[in-house]
Structure 1
Amino acid sequence: MSKSRKVARKSAAVTLAGLILASAALSGCQSGSNNSPASGEPSGSGASASAGASQAAGAIDHSKPLTITVFDNAANYQGEQTGWYGKLVKDKFNITLNILAPQVAGDQLYKTRTAAGDLGDLLIIDNSQLEELIPAGLIMDLTDKLKNTKYLSQYVDNHFKPFNAGFDKVNPEGKIYGLPTFEADTSPTTFSEEIPYSSPIMPWDYYKGVGAPKLNNLNDLLNVLKQMQAKYPKTPDGKPIVPITLWKDWDGGTGAMENVRWLSNWYGYEKPDGTTTIQLNAKGDIVPIIDDNSMYKKILKFYFDANQMGLVDPDSPTQDWNKVAEKLTNKQVLLLWYSWQRGFYNTIERGKNGDGNVAVPIADTRIIQSSDAYYGNGRVFAIGSKAKDPDRIMEFMDWLVSPEGMRYYTNGFEGFNYEKTPDGKFKLTEVGQTAFQNNTPVPDEYGGGGYQDGQSKINSMIMSDFTIDPDTGEFYNNNYWSSTIEANKTALTTDWQKTFNATNATDYYLKNNMIDIVPNINTSLGTDSSDIKNKRSQISDYVKNTSWKMVFAKNQAEFDQLWTKMQKDVEGLGWKDVVAADTAKAQKIVKMRQEALAGK
């Protein structure tokens, strides 16, 4: 059996995890699940060996308060970590987390702090930034420190060493500088999730309410959205419902319009990490996004057509992600396209009434989906070279991957969010099923405030929730607990399964040959020269701005004029040079995928 076939078989075997996804809805800017916390109660005062590190008792002094500056590309919150997670970290480690977020403060934050020679204490940064910061002397070598950890040391040989070896140009000795984020402990070619990361998702009751017509293409999708809009213009409490809502926050340094990027996945094209000018398919075809036949243009046209039909939220050009999240929570959006977006509304109780957002396949799609992020997903945890008390930071990081730390991050805390079952496994409590959506008040003993408000604002993990909890033998991701799967045998899931004759969305796409699962590649793709970096920045800003104008163009003529002008103008900004650099990066990815499938 070929390696690729094994991938498909493993994926098809995944049972239908629940549709709550409350924990996975914490953020939107990461691939994979971005959850929140789990396990025993906050411990009271300073940390000890039980906090996760294996240092001998007393080796680390926790008596003095320590504020850690966390430079965090994944965070969409800036400031001190407060709420229940803040209290937890303070009680266990006498640490306060002060988060600096480029998503909030802007990209200039990285340039300013690196120029000053001190990015921060704990860093969650992109691979490309790590490659810049190592030779600049701004990253601490963690090789020896990892030897003194209890939990992180388990992942050194199979995860951390292979990843850091990819930075051989700036790290010829193979030292460990960065710990990749959201690593799964499955295999490099396994896809474990029950729905692709990006695929068409809609409210099941509204879709059925207009006859649940088969969708053959994007035109059919627009037509059914129009029908749903006409029949369901407002929520029961009078809030306006919009078929499609867009937001700009995440465009950031991606080089193009993110909402376009992710719908391109439906038709087999993705944007390789570290690139901004091209898209890549499972066969290894590389297509510049400004090509007339590119998937990027096709999806721009989809959004333009949708806007011409009155289907795009008029708030889109000005709203931020927080506003979008509010609309998702209120079931004010008809089309979703990220798997975790379901978690803002779906609950088991609603599912019992056939209410919730589910996958609605479109016949002509062929989704591209990366396998589990065995080697991580494009960012790393690192420690700044000028960090205050790096041993205490290392102890905290070690706890993050301990069973206790993983449970807190992914599921909250035992007795409030979940409880033990007689067979030694876990199940969500009634409160835990809706704590995220309802921002349920947290008892004062845990820190008070709202549950969602108090979740970890780090918004990233070293090991993902697709690792096995040694105490239960199940993933940390509560959607895949046997108790959740059983609870989710609701009217919503059973009706969906009967309609599509599949266990879950991944199963459906595999059965119908509508998905390509490609090995997840996480490596150094090289850093840009200053010339390429400057050209990339100018081109990226221009493409993003023009793309938004095209979506909201007044007519087809203006849409075409903007497209043609963009094609011409970017040439003068150094387009060919940046495409050449991105093509070289993509070719490395293609080669490594081939090697992964061949078992190398």
Structure 2
Amino acid sequence: MSMRSKAVKKSVLILIACLFQAAAVLAGCESAPKSPETSSAESSQPSQAGTPIDHSKPLTVTVFNNAANYQGEQTGWYGKLVKDKFNITLNILAPQVAGDQLYKTRSAAGDLGDLLIIDNSQLEELIPAGLIMDITDKVKNTKYLSQYVDNHFKPFNAAFDKVNPSGKIYALPTFVADTSPTTFSEEIPYSSPIMPWDYYKGVGAPKLNNLTDLLNVLKSMQAKYPKTPDGKPIVPITLWKDWDNNGGMENVRWLSNWYGYEQPDGITTLQLNAKGDMVPLIDDNSMYKKILQFYFTANQMGLVDPDSASQDWNKVAEKLTNKQVLLLWYSWQRGFYNSIERGKNGDGNAAVPIADTRIIQNSDAYYGNGRVFAIGSKAKDPARIMEFLDWIVSPEGMRYYTNGFEGFNYEKTADGKFRLTEAGQTAFQKNTPVPAQYGGGGYQDGQSKINSMIMSDFVKDPDTGEFYNNNYWSSTIEANKTALTIDWQKTYNATNATDYYLKNNMIDIVPNINTSLGTDSSDIKNKRSQISNYVKNTSWKMVFAKSQAEFDQLWAKMKTDVAGLGWNDVLAVDTAKAQKIVKMRAEAKAGK
């Protein structure tokens, strides 16, 4: 179970391509892309072990994928790319679309699929059940994956010692960064206050000392900017329910990070801080309650989107693309609207620090972040699946996933590095049409529906010496010296948001921990489910309560009712999990 803030939540991966390009540099242009660099899938290619791999027969790979927000065949440009290179068609099964019962049904039948993208806790269940293939030798015989075996894959798999005492490699963790276990490379924390810079400046850019100041500035912005230029209503805060699966409101969970408390994935009853202090969600002084109170007060002030209780994430994404939302809190949300061209006019979403915050931020996911790629024990043609996985982490595969097509999204510079094409900032936002010979359809529509990676974009491209993440290309940094960036840097006397928070002692960076925290007994699993549903439902009622008295009554009733559902039993299990996190963080800091 990952303790890393970035993308631990399965639904957060919904727009991982957007995350990679979060700082206003989403790419795409009208020029024709280069064709894929390597093999026709019609011929047999030798594997790294020397055994020929026959691509002549079409292969449909069933991908059971917790990260996917799409179910069905991968189509569009990425689908054509995989078909042309490997003669493989990806058929994606997505619990987020089909429901959580899909996992239970297919695992009970003894066959989840050919390629699996599952949570750490599920891996721990599936290894002893015999539903995961031992890929130790297969990984060692690859060209690219083998480079990461000793420093990343072995240590991760060894952590599952209860079900994997011999330290075999059963799975490849997701979004592995090749930096260090205590490095945080990103320019902005995963969750922090973000607002449209021009609107914030338009109301005088008042200093924000606390959440009350934030609400007041949102009220001022709402009054001055009620609609978009084309007449769409602007809302200060918008919420959505369909990501709530970690014991409470997901929108509350991530704002708790602003004040130093995180709720690790899989822990549903408590939050902890960088010192290791643990506070139950239902404690009267919990950060969870403080953020619920913030949203309640915001709603009383008319600042919460009335669509919040009924809309799903897709509707929220549409509003972000239209600049209809004033408060953002995920770093990658900036990518829905920001572009270099808009930045030149001072237009775009930017960090707006609040003085009394102290953000908790997990370091880069050196060992991964809570999910894994694995091969099902009944997989058809595992050699071809492994060849595909090896390509995914190759320079070519990484470039396609993170940055699209050379010539379409980016181009080489004279010094051999890459730069985004001048017209290539809006392929994602505008769903730019892709030429028919490369699969046709819209660029965003055709992106990889796998929606996850083995190695993250915080790995360096060997050909350029720069991260695959195009935010950190030297060309992007230079191009992104826009009016918005320069004005922000001048205002805060910092290079970027992370720099500001570090300089002002407003952030605690804790080591990323990626391990198994154990599986629940059936009794705890049942109690956890009942409690989580109750807390989620009551939390939404509290946000939209008619009065402070009703808010307080709902809170008091929830505290009493969850006790009767077995709260203390689940809390004891979560406390043990959190203690393991605290211990491993201390060891990571000590270099153990």
**TM-score for the superposition, normalised by structure 1:** 0.93
Tell me, yes or no, if structure 1 residue 562 matches structure 2 residue 557.
no
Aligned 8 A contact 1:25 1:344 in 2: no
Alignment partners' CA distance in 1, 2:68 and 2:544: 29
Tell me, yes or no, if structure 1 residue 453 matches structure 2 residue 445.
yes
Aligned to 2:274: 282
Aligned to 1:413: 405
* Shift in CA distance, 44/186, structure 1 to aligned 2, threshold 3 Å: closer
- Structure 1 alignment gaps of length 5 or more: 1-23
For 2:217, the aligned partner's letter is V
Alignment partners' CA distance in 2, 1:563 and 1:328: 31
Q: CA deviation at 1:324?
A: 0.7
Q: CA deviation at 1:26?
A: 7.1
Tell me, yes or no, if structure 1 residue 212 matches structure 2 residue 190.
no
Aligned to 1:523: 515
Aligned to 2:123: 130
Tell me, yes or no, if structure 1 residue 377 matches structure 2 residue 377.
no
Q: CA deviation at 1:30?
A: 11
* Shift in CA distance, 182/296, structure 1 to aligned 2, threshold 3 Å: same
Q: CA deviation at 1:41?
A: 2.4
- Equivalent position to 1:54, from 37, 48, 51: 48
- Equivalent position to 2:308, from 309, 316, 339: 316
Mapping of residues 110-149 of structure 1, within 5 Å: 110-149=103-142
* Shift in CA distance, 365/562, structure 1 to aligned 2, threshold 3 Å: same
Could you say what secondary structure the match of 2:193 adopts?
strand
Aligned to 2:35: 41
Q: CA deviation at 1:37?
A: 11
Could you say what secondary structure the match of 2:489 adopts?
helix
- Equivalent position to 1:537, from 529, 536, 539: 529
For 2:522, the aligned partner's letter is S
Aligned to 1:27: 14
Could you say what secondary structure the match of 1:543 adopts?
helix
Aligned to 1:100: 93
Aligned 8 A contact 1:37 1:407 in 2: no
Residue range with higher mean Cα deviation, 539-548 or 469-478 = 539-548
Mapping of residues 157-176 of structure 1, within 5 Å: 157-176=150-169
Aligned to 2:4: none
* Shift in CA distance, 411/340, structure 1 to aligned 2, threshold 3 Å: same
Aligned 8 A contact 1:180 1:379 in 2: yes
Could you say what secondary structure the match of 1:516 adopts?
strand
Q: CA deviation at 1:45?
A: 3.3
Residue range with higher mean Cα deviation, 205-214 or 39-48 = 39-48
Alignment partners' CA distance in 1, 2:563 and 2:166: 40
In the TM superposition, what whole-angstrom CA distance separates every residue of 1:162-193 from its partner, at most 9, and x where no partner exists? 00111000111111111100000000000000
Could you say what secondary structure the match of 1:485 adopts?
helix
For 1:550, the aligned partner's letter is M
Tell me, yes or no, if structure 1 residue 91 matches structure 2 residue 84.
yes
Q: CA deviation at 1:250?
A: 1.1
Alignment partners' CA distance in 2, 1:69 and 1:593: 37
For 1:474, the aligned partner's letter is E
RMSD, aligned α-carbons = 2.0
Alignment partners' CA distance in 2, 1:462 and 1:538: 33
In the TM superposition, what whole-angstrom CA distance separates every residue of 1:493-512 from its partner, at most 9, and x where no partner exists? 00000000000000000000
For 2:79, the aligned partner's letter is G
Alignment partners' CA distance in 1, 2:241 and 2:460: 36
Aligned to 2:58: 65
Could you say what secondary structure the match of 1:586 adopts?
helix
Tell me, yes or no, if structure 1 residue 185 matches structure 2 residue 178.
yes
Q: CA deviation at 1:432?
A: 2.5
* Shift in CA distance, 50/364, structure 1 to aligned 2, threshold 3 Å: farther
Aligned to 2:430: 438
Could you say what secondary structure the match of 2:243 adopts?
helix
Alignment partners' CA distance in 2, 1:557 and 1:29: 41
- Equivalent position to 1:243, from 224, 236, 246: 236
Could you say what secondary structure the match of 2:425 adopts?
helix
Q: CA deviation at 1:443?
A: 1.0
Aligned 8 A contact 1:553 1:559 in 2: yes
Aligned 8 A contact 2:21 2:469 in 1: no
- Structure 2 alignment gaps of length 5 or more: 1-10
| Count of residues paired in the alignment | 574
**TM-score for the superposition, normalised by structure 2:** 0.94
Alignment partners' CA distance in 2, 1:476 and 1:173: 34
Alignment partners' CA distance in 2, 1:298 and 1:409: 39
Aligned 8 A contact 2:27 2:409 in 1: no
Mapping of residues 213-362 of structure 1, within 5 Å: 213-252=206-245, 254-362=246-354
- Equivalent position to 2:420, from 416, 428, 431: 428
For 1:371, the aligned partner's letter is S
Tell me, yes or no, if structure 1 residue 469 matches structure 2 residue 496.
no
Aligned 8 A contact 2:258 2:358 in 1: yes
Q: CA deviation at 1:109?
A: 1.1
In the TM superposition, what whole-angstrom CA distance separates every residue of 1:295-343 from its partner, at most 9, and x where no partner exists? 0000011111111111111111111111111100000000000000000
In the TM superposition, what whole-angstrom CA distance separates every residue of 1:193-246 from its partner, at most 9, and x where no partner exists? 000000000000000000000000001000000000010000000011000111
For 1:540, the aligned partner's letter is S
Aligned 8 A contact 1:31 1:377 in 2: no
* Shift in CA distance, 352/187, structure 1 to aligned 2, threshold 3 Å: same
Q: CA deviation at 1:54?
A: 2.4
Aligned 8 A contact 1:83 1:449 in 2: yes
Could you say what secondary structure the match of 2:148 adopts?
helix
Could you say what secondary structure the match of 1:251 adopts?
coil
Q: CA deviation at 1:249?
A: 1.5
Could you say what secondary structure the match of 1:424 adopts?
coil
Tell me, yes or no, if structure 1 residue 573 matches structure 2 residue 568.
no
For 2:177, the aligned partner's letter is A
Q: CA deviation at 1:428?
A: 0.4
Alignment partners' CA distance in 2, 1:207 and 1:49: 59
Aligned 8 A contact 2:18 2:335 in 1: no
Alignment partners' CA distance in 1, 2:550 and 2:469: 46
Aligned 8 A contact 2:66 2:119 in 1: yes
Could you say what secondary structure the match of 2:117 adopts?
strand
- Equivalent position to 1:395, from 387, 392, 406: 387
Structure 1 segments of 4 or more deviating over 2 A?
Answer: 24-45, 47-51, 53-56
Q: CA deviation at 1:117?
A: 1.1
Could you say what secondary structure the match of 1:27 adopts?
helix
In the TM superposition, what whole-angstrom CA distance separates every residue of 1:350-406 from its partner, at most 9, and x where no partner exists? 000000000000000000000000000010011111111111111111000000000
